């Protein structure tokens, strides 16, 4: 299969939010040893794999899993298929199954940096931060230019209270990719935890400059401005965050932003 993959990008917010880059496709023909079996089935493992990726793009994760299941019946040694099925499992919240698939992808391809990175994120969601750090470190060892792996490891360090280590990882990510909105955003979260609110605002502003519809960055910049008693700008940011959350159908996040706005307005009127 073609060596290009979907990766999981994760961000700090009141809860962890996942960004989903676009999927990619396998372009190579089936390996010769599988041709006879695949012809009997009427469809090749590569075709099933690509069909599964199409369904990932369409948000049909159960359908994607079904296609990857069939692809693996024809080619049980393809690391890419395990990787992408793991991605689908993660997306629907089947984290243990995701870990199992990422682990099998790594067994088949020990240099599969993206599989280490995604498995590390799944461990992060399960609050196994030490294992998350270990996987991110391995991903970095395999691909030292991966700014995403540094951000991911920084997030795990931050959850363990290792804020200096987190900041060092975000700095490294930004040295590799100065336009990483995720790195600026997550560094802002760490600076908030360190009560460095003005610096956090600067980081959120950079994230918004790079990614103008970054709802979480508006939300957290609003909270930082509220902490600094800049109520007018805080409300403006929270209103923008609420608007973006609503546009994306994220009703819980929308309501959270609206509740904070109401609290600020009540405080201003008291």
Structural domain count of the chain = 2
Q: Which of 103, 126, 149 is the last residue of a domain?
A: 126
CA dist., res. 254 & res. 219, Å (int)? 10
Work out the mean pLDDT of the chain and round it to a whole number.
86
| Phi, psi of 122, rounded to the nearest 5 degrees | -65, -40
| Residue 236 lies in domain | 213-270
Task: Please tell me the pTM assigned to this model.
Answer: 0.81
Residue 177 placed within a domain = no
The reported pLDDT for the residue numbered 17 is 30
Three-class DSSP labels, 48-106: HHHHHHHHHHCCCHHHHHHHHHHHHHHCCCCHHHHHHHHHHHHHCCCHHHHHHHHHHHH
Kind and range of the H or E run holding 173: helix 163-176
Q: Are residues 119 and 12 in the same domain?
A: yes
- Residue-wise pLDDT for 18-42, tens only, equals 332 333 333 333 333 333 334 444 6
Q: Are residues 223 and 103 in the same domain?
A: no
Token readout for 207 is: 């994230």
Q: Are residues 122 and 10 in the same domain?
A: yes
- Residue-wise pLDDT for 121-150, tens only, equals 999 999 999 999 999 999 999 999 999 999
Q: Which of 79, 96, 126 is the last residue of a domain?
A: 126
The reported pLDDT for the residue numbered 34 is 37
The reported pLDDT for the residue numbered 196 is 97
The reported pLDDT for the residue numbered 267 is 83
Angle at 127 between CA 253 and CA 211, to 5 degrees: 40
Q: Which of 126, 154, 170 is the last residue of a domain?
A: 126
CA dist., res. 238 & res. 219, Å (int)? 5
Report which DSSP code applies to 220. H
Q: What is the CATH number of the domain that holds 108?
A: 1.25.40.10
Higher pLDDT, 7 or 153: 153
Q: Are residues 1 and 122 in the same domain?
A: yes
The reported pLDDT for the residue numbered 43 is 83
């Amino acid at each position: 299969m073609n060596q290009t993959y979907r990766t999981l990008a994760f961000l700090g917010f009141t809860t962890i939010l996942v960004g989903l880059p676009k999927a990619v496709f396998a372009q190579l023909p089936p390996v010769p040893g599988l041709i006879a079996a695949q012809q009997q089935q009427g469809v090749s493992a590569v075709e099933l794999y690509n069909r599964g990726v199409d369904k990932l793009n369409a948000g049909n994760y159960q359908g994607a899993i079904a296609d990857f299941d069939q692809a693996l019946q024809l080619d049980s040694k393809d690391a890419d298929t395990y990787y992408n099925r793991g991605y689908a499992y993660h997306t629907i919240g089947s984290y243990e199954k995701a870990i199992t698939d990422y682990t099998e992808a790594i067994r088949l391809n020990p240099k599969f940096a993206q599989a280490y990175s995604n498995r590390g994120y799944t461990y992060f969601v399960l609050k196994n931060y030490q294992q998350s750090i270990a996987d991110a470190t391995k991903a970095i060892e395999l691909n030292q230019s991966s700014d995403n792996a540094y951000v991911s490891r920084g997030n795990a360090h931050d959850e363990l209270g290792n804020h200096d280590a987190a900041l060092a990882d975000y700095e490294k990510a930004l040295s590799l990719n100065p336009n990483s909105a995720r790195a600026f955003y997550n560094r802002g979260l760490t600076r908030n935890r360190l009560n460095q609110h003005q610096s956090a605002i600067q980081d959120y502003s950079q994230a918004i400059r790079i990614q103008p519809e970054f709802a979480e960055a508006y939300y957290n910049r609003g909270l930082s401005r509220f902490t600094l008693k800049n109520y007018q700008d805080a409300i403006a940011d929270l209103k923008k965050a609420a608007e973006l959350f609503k546009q994306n159908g994220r009703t819980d996040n929308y309501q959270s932003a609206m509740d904070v706005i109401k609290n600020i307005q009540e405080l201003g009127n008291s």
